[in-house]
Amino acid sequence: MSSPADFDTEKMSLSMGPSHPSTHGVLRLQMELDGEIVTKADPIVGHLHRGDEKIAENMTYNQFVPYTDRLDYIAPLANNMAYVIAVEKLCKLEMPPRCQAIRVLTAELARISSHLLGIGALAIDVGAWTVFLYTFTEREKLYRLFEELTGARFTTSYTRIGGLMRDVPGGWIERVGAFCDQFLPILEESLDLITRNKIFTDRTQGIGVITREDAIAYGLTGPNLRASGVPLDLRKDKPYSGYEKYEFDIPVGTVGDSYDRYLIRAEEIRQSVRIVRQIVSNFPGGAWYAEDARRIFAPRKDKILTSMEELIQNFMLVTEGPQVPAGEVYFEAENPKGALGFFIVSKGGGVPWRLKIRAPSFCNLSILPKVCVGAMVSDVVAILGSLDFVMGECDR
């Protein structure tokens, strides 16, 4: 029998990812371990870097909308909306109520879809397979609705500067309402599988605690910030696209651990359903694009084919891009992952001079070196799952 002093106590280095099922994409964690305790963690990001900001400087404003799909590809509709609102702020454009309502509706459906994946993936990371299967079934129903609305399940590219790609198809709003009715019982049933599950609570409670001060200092946003007790939600505090018209509550955590982050997401799904139902029951009529936005939003197709003025306008819009005045604007939207910000520097014309994407996942991951230290390797999985990041957005 050897005494503890004889053991080799050398630290071990462990590289987790970039192809690891719980690093949710291509995050790589370079860790230093003392036994099974993490003593140092260095996240290595950038494996999915595509240079979106460089690309944006080389194309017109509308051409960049499809690239926003590929940021947080779990919630492309919310990204589409955040981007066009930033450009519209620069143009000083106000959207009519129907356009705002459709945007909010799609963004909230995207939030439901994103949080369903976040919860399902966290559950699967800590060993609860079943929840994932239920939430993915519901996401599939949402994807059918997205496909009907935009023509694509994933890469929706639904918004345009000054409006939308098209109006909602007939009967779609009713189908969204029907989805909500059947969805809520299933949601509660699937959450019941883990909320009071002993294994799940043991794996997540007290794990990855982020204090209120740290959350603010590292620039955390979204559910991760609110789980740490900061009631900041840009939908309430800086309302955009008519969010002030809807009633909803902001859940706030008390401990800031992985379990709190799970609870916040669960409650946000319920609140999103509340917002969706308010829109469905009171869906505004009227125009779904800014009618006064000449040189910015494309004219109607039937007019393009019959009227010279509209034909020229359409030609100029396609070749030169929407004409955006010079200026600097920064807009953050409350996306499922946190505050997605766009900083746009325009010198006038159809192409931005500089477009910076403030990616919530990038900021949320920057706290990993702090929060992983002292955790067990198996806890790192629960921390990563509860932070709910997307590398497409982090790496841009």
The contact set with other proteins (CB under 8 A) reads 45-46, 49, 51, 53-55, 58-59, 89-90, 92, 216-220, 230, 232, 234, 237-238, 325, 327-332, 339, 341, 343, 345, 353-354, 356, 358, 362-363, 365-367, 370, 395-396
Beta carbons within 10 angstroms of residue 189's beta carbon:
11
To other proteins, the closest distance from the beta carbon of 232 in angstroms equals: 5
Residue (166 or 238) nearer to other proteins, CB: 238
Residue (191 or 324) nearer to other proteins, CB: 324
To other proteins, the closest distance from the beta carbon of 159 in angstroms equals: 19
To other proteins, the closest distance from the beta carbon of 96 in angstroms equals: 21
To other proteins, the closest distance from the beta carbon of 44 in angstroms equals: 9
Residue (91 or 168) nearer to other proteins, CB: 91
> Could you report how far apart the first and last alpha carbons of the chain are, in Å?
54
To other proteins, the closest distance from the beta carbon of 356 in angstroms equals: 4
To other proteins, the closest distance from the beta carbon of 92 in angstroms equals: 8
Residue (123 or 329) nearer to other proteins, CB: 329
Residue (237 or 291) nearer to other proteins, CB: 237
Residue (91 or 105) nearer to other proteins, CB: 91
Residue (191 or 359) nearer to other proteins, CB: 359
